[in-house]
């Protein structure tokens, strides 16, 4: 550990650690040092020259004007920010920067959160003293997310340091020189990084702004915000969704030092536009007509009670949602309990098994679960069985930091993703074969002849040797491909790699924002069991919570067929979709960013999210709606003082922590109570079935595969059109060529343009998961 | 597209360095020569591929240095030193003379595409100021009269080259 | 003081002409310095250079031996030696003569340095406008290789040295040694922050020494004749000879090799022949390339060595003087100077990128008789901050600018008063 030292800043004694960046040490002590180019995540550049102060090594040594960002704190240092010479210099720097600034503040979309404006006022550069023409630049089209306004640039180089050096994007750069330095792309075009939106936050002025937000611009101080948690993947980045009156306007990342810290991905930043989806449900319906919500709740409750009375509780079932809050799923579970019904959380058995196994590993406390900041410090990374960029984008950004710091990155999966371009070693295998390669790594013994190919042996050997010298190894494993074999292999590898002197961390990428919460629900029924009961006509009433069954790959995807077997169906959701359209009763609820509750992220970290109170009964959270349903059944007694640990498989301590959890907390990880029962299942999941010599592999895309971000907004625009991919060798043997429309309807139920991909394992057909559903505009909105 | 032989030559050339990127500027000079004195978009892409770096990195280099051109230039490039010693010794007069004779100012190219006129940083001939350079040739103590001779000689050369 | 012929023993500075070829170089005592070096341990060679008090000829005058001593000798990875032949500083034309006139002297100097620091790879970084000179060096490198002075196991010493030329693409900032390293790596030539210094982390992150052409040129002679011999030339703190030059308003602009410590007056009047234009006395001199502050006639007794010129408030720099006479307008000269710095700024840090163009705008307006009252104060204020930039480029602009503003204030004010007269 670094030694604690003392420095003096404007007479104030500040404690810091030796070698800490001097500017950061001041900021940590709450002392504002004006700066632009320094950024906690990006480090110093020394370009803006604004952080100047008089600095001396000790009180008896002469002071010099220094850039605080370029110095390391040392014991006894004396820093004078308010020295008149330093103040004069900083004012001069601002004056220099403002010489060419357009002064378009009244119409600037950075207004109110502009660091340049703050610094200008801070340094008291108030009056313009230049009389010369200003330079101007042409802006570029950078795609649907980020707007470019180069005239506002102050050349702090943060954008390129972020985009190129930090996020490793390769389609952005710095051009020109002298007093014409330009930041952008070589030519107009969509920014290719999944993390491009962070340009908006790293830019201290308004060069890069949120293109969606600026379309219907509000002054930031007119926005209302509450701290929330991103719903678009299982990482759980902290965010500040902002509303003007009752409309959603934008999302910015919110700092949580144990989760996302400074940044977030574009899917999360722009994926919240579903809040404004035109198909927003605002009225309740019961068997046709629109009715007041209380009316629908009352009739639904009556109907459920009647069915329970007639057919017994076994005739009632509910489908919960891995993207609904712990509270909403708990309320649904309690509703079922009070009626004697059952609840099912997952799409299919394979997913359920994989998610529940990964959850058990995550919350058992046996292994170290890596947070994002811990991932950045890993000195060895192994990614198993998925595409990190598409499945947990911010994990990708963290792994890039580990890679930048020199960690070898190993990837084993059927198809190369973006992270593969930074990997040390990438191995392509057929789906499911990840585990057999890793099993051999595990055994540490020479695999029997022929068990592994030469390529696989080389990968395994390189992996073993890199793992051997690592102090902070990390295994990242996908659960989205519903392969429990892969989950187990990753677990065993991390477990075996953990020794006395080092622990191997592990992290699973889960399918949804609250998958871990869903997996911990007690008494969850397997989907195929429920489906069989529905098909057999045993289920008479079904309640569906925030789930569009058409898109979740469940046996209920043919909603019409499934619902036709059920006498009464009730859907609770915030927007009209194929499921609500088929339901007998529809209860609207608040969408995520207008809702409050808790999620368990991939670490099992409980995080509470909040919302603004938005008027209108349709905007009560799903949990509240469900509680009123319980109330209407007259069973609120049954719920009484129910604790989270009654509903979820968590320890009483976790329950206490969960109840005490407040919005804005760093969050705490829940612990498993007892053992999560995981059904014995075959090692091979459904996908490994071979048709026509090909195994299907789902491509999980950052833009396209996540349901909510596909409902509305620019993230939908960024999703590709359907396609299929084959390894060139497979295409050749089938006489198929790049770009042609290939007919795989017999085996895989699709016809789509073919892409050849040499970075796809042979014998695999890769199919993007595209959760597109034509938005259904409710009648009352159309009118 | 550049000829395969050039591509192979350059690809081999950059490999002799401890890091291929060290060869970037030389590769760009050679591509610029191949493309008639400037670097079209295609050349940027070629350089990126040869050296194995993203295009924006090449563009960043192409737009930083004085001797890389991202727009077409004349067949011959005339640079006039306008640094202090040449300034004292009358380089402005030369620039005026170019304007009179060729009809172009600084940064411009003659209509026939023969000459591009550019200022240059001190050519290291300060004792022989004013100094200019046309392609590889340096001319010292240049006067308007001497300039006429030089240009006549060059156009005679060009005429000979064409016939 | 009389001219000497050490670095220029093979060069006629009045007319550089064809380069000294290998044969002539050898006939005139060539590679004797290298031979002497190979007869010693690398550390001994370093010590000799340290003892010689040789100071860098690139402008800053940093003691060469001291600079070398920061290279970690126990470092087992690749170390690099780089020659700075960017020479784009206006008014400076000395390295050109050494490069075109005697390439073997440069090669021998680099070989000695490489051996002293056990660096096996070297590059000669040459500005694009000197590409003909680079071709001459390439030919000399070939001769040296053929004769066993480069390549593997040089002269049976067991030491390898691979040396090649590298052409730049033109930017004055490339002369700044860390910007040069970026440029050599194929990057934009923005300077790097120091620390880490190139001696520890330089080219491709490896220990690297960058020295000027003339600095290397001294080494064969120091090694061949010894530190004591060398120290007898020049002054106590500025040992040796220096290629000095004069350009601008002098009768006899050219280069001379002179012992350090010759007086500026002697240089101007005796060597350069005094004012070129009759009836126009010399009124100012920039002593060492454009980035050094102006000296005026009552400072002409200053001696041309590192410390004396510094004491006079300027810098010896490259020791190539630029001379102005009474007929020259210092406002217009300042406009030219600031135009140069504006055009050549790398654009990395604020005061340089924005401040210099602003100052130029004001000076330019003044030359157009559009100056305003208050411009002097504003220019002085903006100029003052140029000392706190990321690299030494802007301080280089500040020197001549502030000295012109101070020493020729009257000329500026006259132009401002003449507002609207043009
Ligand atoms: C803007 C700028 C330009 C420079 N140009 C040159 C140059 O052209 N040649 C040179 O040798 N040194 C130049 N220098 C000095 C170098 O940074 C460096 O000090 C020198 O090459 C070291 O060599 P020396 O120790 O042999 O003098 C320049 C410095 C600055 C700040
Ligand atoms: S460049 Fe500057 S503000 Fe920026 S942080 Fe540093 S010196 Fe500071
Ligand atoms: S000033 Fe023109 S050659 Fe030096």
Q: Output the tens digit of pLDDT for each of chain C's 422 residues.
A: 789 999 999 999 999 999 999 999 999 999 999 999 999 999 999 999 999 999 999 999 999 999 999 999 999 999 999 999 999 999 999 999 999 999 999 999 999 999 999 999 999 999 999 999 999 999 999 999 999 999 999 999 999 999 999 999 999 999 999 999 999 999 999 999 999 999 999 999 999 999 999 999 999 999 999 999 999 999 999 999 999 999 999 999 999 999 999 999 999 999 999 999 999 999 999 999 999 999 999 999 999 999 999 999 999 999 999 999 999 999 999 999 999 999 999 999 999 999 999 999 999 999 999 999 999 999 999 999 999 999 999 999 999 999 999 999 999 999 999 987 75
Shortest distance, CA C333 to any CA of chain A (angstroms): 21
C381–A176: do the CB atoms touch at under 8 Å? no
**How far, in Å, are A418, A710, A711, A716, A739 from residue A272 at the CA level?**
24, 10, 9, 11, 33
Tens digit of each residue's pLDDT (9 = 90 or more) over A179-209: 999 999 999 999 999 999 999 999 999 999 9
Is the Cα torsion angle A767, A769, A770, A771 positive or negative in sign? positive
pLDDT given at position A683: 45
Which residues pair with residue B109 across a beta bridge? B116
pLDDT given at position A432: 87
pLDDT given at position A450: 74
Establish how many alpha carbons lie within 13 A of residue A662's alpha carbon, considering only the half-sphere containing its beta carbon: 2
Ligand 2 binding pocket includes A267 (Cβ within 6 Å): no
Cα A763 → chain centroid: 31
Q: Ligand 2: which residue has its CA nearest to atom 8? A: A51
- B84 and B152 in a single domain? The answer is yes
CA nearest to C48, candidates C38, C60, C58: C38
B40 occurs within a structural domain: yes
Nearest CA in chain B to C346: B64
Measured in Å, residue C246 CA sits from the centre of ligand 1 at 19
User: Which residues belong to CATH 2.40.40.20 in chain A?
Assistant: 689-782
Residue A291, pLDDT > 60, answer yes
CATH of domain A4-98: 3.10.20.740
The encoded tokens of residue A366 equal 């046996």
Q: Ligand 1: which residue has its CA nearest to atom 29? A: C176
Measured in Å, residue A590 CA sits from the centre of ligand 1 at 66
C169–B25: do the CB atoms touch at under 8 Å? yes
pLDDT given at position A87: 98
- B59 and B117 in a single domain? The answer is no
Banded model confidence at residue A679, pLDDT cuts 50, 70, 90: low
Which residues pair with residue A55 across a beta bridge? A64, A79
Contacts with A783 (C-beta within 8 Å, 6 or more apart), sequence order: none
Banded model confidence at residue A772, pLDDT cuts 50, 70, 90: confident
Whether the CB-CB separation of A81 and A31 falls below 8 Å is answered with yes
Tens digit of each residue's pLDDT (9 = 90 or more) over C116-174: 999 999 999 999 999 999 999 999 999 999 999 999 999 999 999 999 999 999 999 99
- B122 and B87 in a single domain? The answer is yes
Residues framing ligand 1 (Cβ under 6 A): C 56-60, 62, 64, 67, 84, 86-89, 173, 175-177, 210-212, 215, 391-393, 396
B107 occurs within a structural domain: yes
B95 occurs within a structural domain: yes
B69 occurs within a structural domain: no
Q: Answer with the one of B64, B96, B112 that is the final residue of a domain.
A: B64
Residue A777, pLDDT > 60, answer no
Tens digit of each residue's pLDDT (9 = 90 or more) over A713-737: 999 999 999 999 999 999 999 999 9
- B36 and B91 in a single domain? The answer is no
Residue A783, pLDDT > 50, answer no
Ligand 2 binding pocket includes A69 (Cβ within 6 Å): yes
Banded model confidence at residue B161, pLDDT cuts 50, 70, 90: confident
User: Which residues belong to CATH 3.10.20.740 in chain A?
Assistant: 4-98
pTM assigned to the model: 0.96
Ligand 2 binding pocket includes A158 (Cβ within 6 Å): no
- Express as a percent the part of chain B with pLDDT over 70: 99
Which listed ligand is nearest to C248 at the C-alpha?
A: 3
Contacts with A450 (C-beta within 8 Å, 6 or more apart), sequence order: none
If DSSP codes are grouped into helix, strand and coil, which group holds residue A502? strand
pLDDT given at position B99: 96
Q: For A416, phi and psi rounded to 5 degrees? A: -75, 135
pLDDT given at position A117: 95
Tens digit of each residue's pLDDT (9 = 90 or more) over A687-715: 567 888 999 999 999 999 999 999 999 99
Q: Return contacts of C418-421, CB within 8 angstroms, 24+ apart.
A: C418/C369, C419/C369, C419/C370, C419/C371, C419/C372, C420/C369, C420/C370, C421/C369
- B49 and B80 in a single domain? The answer is no
B154 occurs within a structural domain: yes
Dist. CA C255–CA C320, nearest whole Å: 8
- B110 and B131 in a single domain? The answer is yes
Neighbours of B107 (CB within 10 A): 10
Q: Ligand 3: which residue has its CA nearest to atom 1? A: B85
Cβ contacts of A95 on chain C, cutoff 8 Å: 382
Q: Which of C88, C167, C248 sits opposite B85 (nearest CB)?
A: C248
Contacts with A533 (C-beta within 8 Å, 6 or more apart), sequence order: A317, A539
pLDDT given at position A102: 95
Dist. CA C190–CA C176, nearest whole Å: 9
pLDDT given at position A161: 98
pLDDT given at position A684: 43
Dist. CA A504–CA A496, nearest whole Å: 8
Dist. CA A140–CA A590, nearest whole Å: 38
CATH code: domain of residue B104? 3.40.30.10
- The CATH superfamily holding the domain A368-509 is Dimethylsulfoxide Reductase, domain 2 (3.40.228.10)
Q: For A13, phi and psi rounded to 5 degrees? A: -85, 130
Q: Which of B88, B120, B121 sits opposite C328 (nearest CB)?
A: B88
pLDDT given at position A781: 45
Measured in Å, residue A387 CA sits from the centre of ligand 1 at 49
Which DSSP string corresponds to A178-208?
Answer: TTEEEEE-SSS-----TTTTHHHHHSSSSSE
Which among A22, A49, A63 is the top mutation candidate for probing chain C, defined by the most C β-carbons within 10 Å of its own β-carbon? A49
pLDDT given at position A442: 74
Cβ contacts of C188 on chain A, cutoff 8 Å: 174, 177
User: Which residues belong to CATH 3.40.50.740 in chain A?
Assistant: 284-345+521-643
Measured in Å, residue C173 CA sits from the centre of ligand 1 at 9
- B98 and B26 in a single domain? The answer is no
pLDDT given at position A618: 76
CA dihedral B141, B147, B151, B154 (to 10 degrees): -20
Interface A–C counts its CB contacts (< 8 A) at 83
Q: Answer with the one of B37, B64, B91 that is the final residue of a domain.
A: B64
pLDDT given at position A773: 75
The encoded tokens of residue A51 equal 């952080």
- B102 and B156 in a single domain? The answer is yes
Find the helix or strand (DSSP H, E) in which C381 lies.
helix C375-384
Residues framing ligand 3 (Cβ under 6 A): B 81, 83-86, 122-126, 129, 131; C 90-91
Find the helix or strand (DSSP H, E) in which A360 lies.
helix A349-363
Please give the average per-residue pLDDT across A79-102, as a whole number: 97
pLDDT given at position C171: 97
Nearest CA in chain C to A37: C349
- B48 and B100 in a single domain? The answer is no
Q: Would you call A176 an interface residue with chain C, using a CB distance cutoff of 8 Å?
A: yes
Please give the average per-residue pLDDT across A579-587, as a whole number: 96
Top CATH class of A284-345+521-643 equals alpha beta
Q: Ligand 1: which residue has its CA nearest to atom 7? A: C175
Please give the average per-residue pLDDT across B89-107, as a whole number: 96
Dist. CA A629–CA A587, nearest whole Å: 10
Range of the domain at B49: 4-64
CA nearest to C72, candidates C119, C31, C130: C119
- B44 and B113 in a single domain? The answer is no
pLDDT given at position A159: 98
Dist. CA A237–CA A608, nearest whole Å: 12
Banded model confidence at residue A446, pLDDT cuts 50, 70, 90: low
The encoded tokens of residue A97 equal 């920067």
Measured in Å, residue A780 CA sits from the centre of ligand 3 at 79
Per the listing, tokens 């406008």 go with C129
Residue A501, pLDDT > 90, answer no
- Express as a percent the part of chain A with pLDDT over 70: 96
Q: Which of B21, B51, B67 sits opposite C169 (nearest CB)?
A: B67
Measured in Å, residue A35 CA sits from the centre of ligand 2 at 5
- B89 and B35 in a single domain? The answer is no
Q: Which of A28-32, A469-473, A616-620, C307-311 has the lowest mean pLDDT?
A: A616-620
B70 occurs within a structural domain: no
Q: Answer with the one of B20, B40, B64 that is the final residue of a domain.
A: B64
Please give the average per-residue pLDDT across A623-641, as a whole number: 85
The correct CATH number of A689-782 out of 3.30.56.10, 2.40.40.20, 3.40.630.30, 3.30.70.141 is 2.40.40.20
Dist. CA C55–CA C239, nearest whole Å: 8
- B81 and B156 in a single domain? The answer is yes
pLDDT given at position A500: 81
Number of independent structural domains in chain B: 2
Dist. CA A367–CA A492, nearest whole Å: 10
Shortest distance, CA C12 to any CA of chain B (angstroms): 14
């Amino acid at each position: 550990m670094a030694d604690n030292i003392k420095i003096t800043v404007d007479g104030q004694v500040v404690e810091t650690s030796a070698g800490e960046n001097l500017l950061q040490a001041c900021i940590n002590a709450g002392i504002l040092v004006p700066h632009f180019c320094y950024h906690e995540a990006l480090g110093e550049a020394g370009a803006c020259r604004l952080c100047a102060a008089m600095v001396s090594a000790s009180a008896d040594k002469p002071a010099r004007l220094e850039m605080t960002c370029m110095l390391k704190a040392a014991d006894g240092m004396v820093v004078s920010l308010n020295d008149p010479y330093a103040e004069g210099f900083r004012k001069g720097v601002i004056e220099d920067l403002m010489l060419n600034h357009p002064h378009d503040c009244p119409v600037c979309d950075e207004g109110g959160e502009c660091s340049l404006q703050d610094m200008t006022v801070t340094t008291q550069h108030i009056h313009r003293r230049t009389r010369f023409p200003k330079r101007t630049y042409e802006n570029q089209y950078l795609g649907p997310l980020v707007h470019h306004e180069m005239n506002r640039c102050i050349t702090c180089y943060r954008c390129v340091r972020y985009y190129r050096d930090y996020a490793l994007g390769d389609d952005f750069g710095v051009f020109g020189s002298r007093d014409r330095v330009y930041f952008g792309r070589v030519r107009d075009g969509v920014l290719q990084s999944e993390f491009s939106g962070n340009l908006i936050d790293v830019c201290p002025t308004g060069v890069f702004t949120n293109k969606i937000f600026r379309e219907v611009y509000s002054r930031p101080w007119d926005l209302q915000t509450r701290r929330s948690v991103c719903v678009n993947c299982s990482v759980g980045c902290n965010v500040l969704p902002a509303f003007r009156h009752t409309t959603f306007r934008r999302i910015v990342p919110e700092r949580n030092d144990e989760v996302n810290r400074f940044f977030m991905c574009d899917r999360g930043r722009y994926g919240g536009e579903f809040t404004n989806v035109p198909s927003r449900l605002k009225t309740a319906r019961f068997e046709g007509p629109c009715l007041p919500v209380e009316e629908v709740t009352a009739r639904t409750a009556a109907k459920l009670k009647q069915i329970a009375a007639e057919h017994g509780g076994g005739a009632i079932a509910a489908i919960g949602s891995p993207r609904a809050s712990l509270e909403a799923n708990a309320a649904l579970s309690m509703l079922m309990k009070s009626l004697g019904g059952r609840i099912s959380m997952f799409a299919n058995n394979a997913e359920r098994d994989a998610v529940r196994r990964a959850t058990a590993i995550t919350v058992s406390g046996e292994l170290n679960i890596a947070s994002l900041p811990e991932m950045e410090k890993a000195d060895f990374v192994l990614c198993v069985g998925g595409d990190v960029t598409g499945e947990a984008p911010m994990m990708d950004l963290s792994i890039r930091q580990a890679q930048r710091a020199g960690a070898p990155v190993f990837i084993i999966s059927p198809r190369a993703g973006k992270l593969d371009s930074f990997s040390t070693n990438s191995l392509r295998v057929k789906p499911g074969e990840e585990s057999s390669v890793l099993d051999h790594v595990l055994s540490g013994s020479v695999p029997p002849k022929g068990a592994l190919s030469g390529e696989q042996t080389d990968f395994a050997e390189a992996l073993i040797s890199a793992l051997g010298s690592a102090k902070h190894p990390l295994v990242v494993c996908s659960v989205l491909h519903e392969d429990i074999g892969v989950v187990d292999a990753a677990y065993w590898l991390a477990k075996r790699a953990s020794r006395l002197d080092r622990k191997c961390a592990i992290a699973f990428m889960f399918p949804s924002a609250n998958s871990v919460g869903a997996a911990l629900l007690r008494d969850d029924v397997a989907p195929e069991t429920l489906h069989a009961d529905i098909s057999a006509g045993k289920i008479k009433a079904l309640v569906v919570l925030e789930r569009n069954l058409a898109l979740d790959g469940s046996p209920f995807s043919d909603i019409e067929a499934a619902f036709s077997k059920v006498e009464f169906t009730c859907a609770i959701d915030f927007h009209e979709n194929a499921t609500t359209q088929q339901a007998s009763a529809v209860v609207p609820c608040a969408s995520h960013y207008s809702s409050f509750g808790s999620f368990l992220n991939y670490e099992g970290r409980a995080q509470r999210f909040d919302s603004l109170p938005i008027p209108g009964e349709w905007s009560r959270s799903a949990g509240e709606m469900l509680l009123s349903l319980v109330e209407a059944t007259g069973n609120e007694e049954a719920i009484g003082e129910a604790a989270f640990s009654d509903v979820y498989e968590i320890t009483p301590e976790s329950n206490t922590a969960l109840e005490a959890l407040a919005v804005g907390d760093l969050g705490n990880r829940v612990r498993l109570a007892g053992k999560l029962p995981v059904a014995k299942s075959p090692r091979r999941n459904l996908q490994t079935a071979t048709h026509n010599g090909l195994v299907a592999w789902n491509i999980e895309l950052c833009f396209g595969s996540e349901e909510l971000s596909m409902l509305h907004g620019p993230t939908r625009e960024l999703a590709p059109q359907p396609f299929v991919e084959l390894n060139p060798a497979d295409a050749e043997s089938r006489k198929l060529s790049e770009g042609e429309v290939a007919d795989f309807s017999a085996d895989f139920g699709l016809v789509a343009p073919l892409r050849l991909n040499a970075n796809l394992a042979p014998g695999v057909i890769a199919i993007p998961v595209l959760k597109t559903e034509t938005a259904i505009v409710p009648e009352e909105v159309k009118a | 597209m550049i000829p395969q032989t050039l591509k192979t030559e350059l690809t081999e050339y950059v490999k002799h360095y401890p890091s291929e990127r060290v060869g970037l500027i030389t590769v760009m000079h050679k591509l610029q020569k191949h493309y008639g004195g400037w670097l079209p978009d295609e050349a940027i892409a070629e350089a990126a591929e040869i050296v194995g770096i993203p295009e924006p990195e090449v563009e960043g280099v192409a737009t930083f240095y004085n001797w890389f051109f991202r727009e077409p230039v004349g067949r011959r490039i005339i640079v006039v030193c306008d640094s202090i010693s040449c300034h004292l010794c009358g380089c402005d007069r030369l620039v005026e003379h170019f304007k009179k004779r060729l009809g172009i100012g600084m940064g411009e190219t003659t209509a026939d595409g023969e000459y591009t006129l550019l200022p240059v940083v001190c050519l290291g001939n300060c004792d022989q100021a004013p100094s200019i350079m046309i392609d590889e040739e340096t001319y010292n103590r240049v006067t308007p009269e001497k300039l006429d001779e030089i240009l006549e000689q060059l156009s005679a050369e060009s005429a000979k080259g064409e016939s | 003081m009389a001219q000497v012929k050490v670095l220029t023993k093979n060069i006629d500075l009045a007319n550089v002409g064809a380069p000294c070829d290998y044969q002539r170089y050898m006939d005139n005592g060539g590679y004797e310095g290298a031979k002497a070096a190979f007869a010693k341990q690398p550390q001994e060679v370093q010590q000799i250079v340290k003892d010689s008090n040789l100071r860098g000829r690139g402008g800053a005058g940093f003691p060469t031996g001291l600079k070398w001593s920061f290279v970690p000798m126990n470092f087992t990875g690749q170390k690099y030696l780089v020659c700075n032949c960017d020479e784009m500083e206006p008014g400076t034309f000395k390295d050109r003569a050494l490069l075109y006139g005697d390439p073997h002297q440069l090669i021998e100097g680099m070989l000695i340095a490489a051996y002293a620091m056990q660096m096996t790879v070297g590059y000669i970084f040459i500005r694009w406008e000197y590409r003909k000179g680079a071709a001459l060096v390439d030919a000399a490198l070939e001769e040296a290789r053929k004769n066993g002075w480069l390549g593997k196991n040089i002269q049976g010493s067991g030491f390898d040295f691979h040396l090649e030329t590298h052409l730049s693409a033109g930017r004055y900032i490339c002369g700044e040694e860390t910007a040069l390293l970026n440029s050599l790596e194929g990057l934009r030539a923005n300077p790097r922050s120091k620390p880490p210094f190139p001696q520890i982390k330089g080219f491709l992150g490896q220990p690297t020494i960058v020295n000027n052409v003339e600095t290397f040129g001294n080494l064969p002679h120091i090694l061949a004749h010894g530190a004591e011999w060398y120290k007898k030339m020049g002054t106590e703190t500025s040992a040796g000879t220096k290629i000095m030059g004069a350009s601008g308003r002098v009768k006899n602009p050219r280069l001379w090799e002179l012992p350090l410590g010759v007086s500026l007056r002697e240089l101007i009047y005796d060597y350069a022949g005094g004012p070129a234009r009759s009836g126009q006395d010399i009124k100012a001199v920039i002593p060492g390339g454009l980035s050094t502050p102006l000296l005026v006639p009552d400072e002409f007794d200053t001696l041309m060595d590192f410390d004396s010129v510094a004491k006079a408030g300027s810098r010896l720099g490259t020791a190539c003087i630029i001379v102005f006479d009474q007929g020259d307008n210092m406002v217009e000269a300042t406009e030219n100077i600031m135009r140069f710095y504006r055009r050549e700024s790398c654009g990395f840090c604020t005061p340089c990128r924005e401040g210099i163009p602003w100052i130029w705008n004001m000076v330019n307006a003044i030359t157009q008789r559009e100056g305003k009252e208050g411009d002097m104060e504003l220019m002085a204020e903006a100029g003052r901050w140029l000392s706190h930039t990321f690299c030494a480029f802007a301080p280089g602009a500040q020197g001549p600018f502030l000295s012109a503003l101070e020493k020729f204030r009257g000329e500026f004010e006259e132009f401002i008063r003449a507002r609207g007269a043009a």
